[in-house]
């Protein structure tokens, strides 16, 4: 906030607003303030601070600020209770609840993928590549949940974990086979997760929270689209090979996928 000073100490006592850089261009560069600062003529007596500046810099006619006037309102909003977040600002209850709901979505999807990993890792199923894929997918969804939890804490919200639905334990399907059925289920889960993320983004827009909207966009939406594309291709490939020997080749592709990427990177 600009404190008012007398006409005598208005900036350079000019008849109108004066650019500070004009003085610098005139050869006086040792200024207490730098840049093209421009201030209006004012009408309050000079303070001791202004007088001190005038003594050292006779050409400087006294402009100073009182910034704390503008933070008084914010200071009054800082909670004094120890159970209240100090970091929370413009973070509504609807946004907080939506983040907690998305945490629950990510954990539920992770739980289903973990059950799929356990199924395909059985000795009488023995599709280790598909098991590896679902184990990595489960860990990824869990990481998403933890990322949302950290964001909730950063914004000053409270993480409230909810119950997780018990997943299936068997994924065999008489017509489609277990690999195709599980991959179609995974695609459905990813599409549902994407819908939930879009709803989360809508909450951010509705609550006028651009930071939360940016977080959802940068950390989740793009990655979600890529995942849907990848699993869609897996479903298409499994539909082509059927339930026979082709499933084993598909499984081997997933098992060595990371190794092939590593070898072809040289």
Q: Are 78 and 86 in contact (CB under 8 A)?
A: yes
pLDDT digits (tens, 9 = 90+) for 112-169: 999 999 999 999 999 999 999 999 999 999 999 999 999 999 999 999 999 999 999 9
Sorted by sequence, the CB contacts under 8 Å of residue 253 that are 6+ apart come out as: 129
Give, in degrees to the nearest 5, the angle at Cα 45 between 40 and 51: 95
The CATH number of 93-263 is which of 1.20.1260.10, 3.90.1170.50, 1.10.579.10, 1.25.40.10? 1.20.1260.10
Residue 49's pLDDT is what?
A: 56
The ranges of the chain annotated as CATH 1.20.1260.10 are: 93-263
pLDDT digits (tens, 9 = 90+) for 56-87: 655 555 555 566 776 776 776 777 677 788 88
Side-chain-facing half-sphere of 117: CA atoms under 13 Å: 15
| Burial (CB count within 10 angstroms: exposed 0-12, middle 13-18, buried 19+), residue 62 | buried
Residue 141 labelled as part of a binding site: yes
Whole-prediction pTM: 0.70
Does residue 242 surpass a pLDDT of 60? yes
Rounded Cα–Cα distance for residues 23 and 39 (Å): 14
pLDDT digits (tens, 9 = 90+) for 3-27: 554 444 444 444 444 444 454 455 4
Residue 144 labelled as part of a binding site: yes
- % of the chain at pLDDT higher than 90: 62
Q: Are 152 and 158 in contact (CB under 8 A)?
A: yes
Q: Which residue has the tokens 């909730």?
A: 152
Question: Band of the pLDDT at 189, cuts 50, 70, 90?
Answer: very high
Beta strands in the chain (DSSP E): 18-19, 38-39
Mean pLDDT, residues 95-99: 97
Rounded Cα–Cα distance for residues 199 and 101 (Å): 11
| Burial (CB count within 10 angstroms: exposed 0-12, middle 13-18, buried 19+), residue 102 | buried
Mean pLDDT, residues 23-48: 48
How many other CB atoms are there within 10 angstroms of residue 237's CB atom?
A: 16
Residue 136 labelled as part of a binding site: no
Rounded Cα–Cα distance for residues 111 and 116 (Å): 9
Closest CA relative to residue 212, chosen from 79, 109, 78, 90:
90
């Amino acid at each position: 906030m600009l404190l008012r000073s007398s006409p005598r100490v208005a900036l350079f006592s000019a008849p109108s607003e004066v650019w500070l850089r004009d003085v610098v261009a005139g050869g006086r560069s040792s200024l207490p303030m730098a840049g093209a600062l421009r201030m209006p003529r004012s009408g309050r007596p000079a303070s001791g601070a202004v007088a001190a500046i005038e003594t050292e810099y006779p050409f400087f006619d006294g402009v100073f600020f009182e910034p704390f006037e503008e933070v008084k309102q914010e200071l009054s909003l800082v909670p004094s209770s120890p159970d209240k977040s100090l970091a929370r600002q413009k973070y509504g209850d609807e946004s907080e609840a939506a983040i907690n709901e998305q945490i629950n979505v990510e954990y539920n999807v992770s739980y289903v993928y973990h059950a799929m990993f356990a199924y395909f890792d059985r000795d009488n199923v023995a599709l280790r590549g598909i098991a590896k894929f679902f184990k990595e997918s489960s860990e990824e969804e869990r990481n998403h949940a933890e990322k949302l939890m950290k964001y909730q804490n950063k914004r000053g919200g409270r993480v409230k974990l909810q119950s997780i639905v018990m997943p299936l334990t068997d994924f065999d399907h008489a017509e489609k086979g277990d690999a195709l059925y599980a991959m179609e289920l995974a695609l459905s889960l990813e599409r549902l997760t994407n819908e939930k993320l879009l709803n989360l983004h809508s909450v951010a827009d509705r609550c006028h929270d651009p930071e939360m909207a940016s977080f959802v966009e940068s950390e989740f939406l793009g990655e979600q689209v890529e995942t849907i594309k990848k699993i869609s291709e897996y479903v298409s490939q499994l539909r082509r090979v059927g339930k026979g020997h082709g499933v084993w080749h598909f499984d081997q592709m997933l098992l060595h996928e990371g190794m092939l990427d590593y070898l072809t990177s040289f």
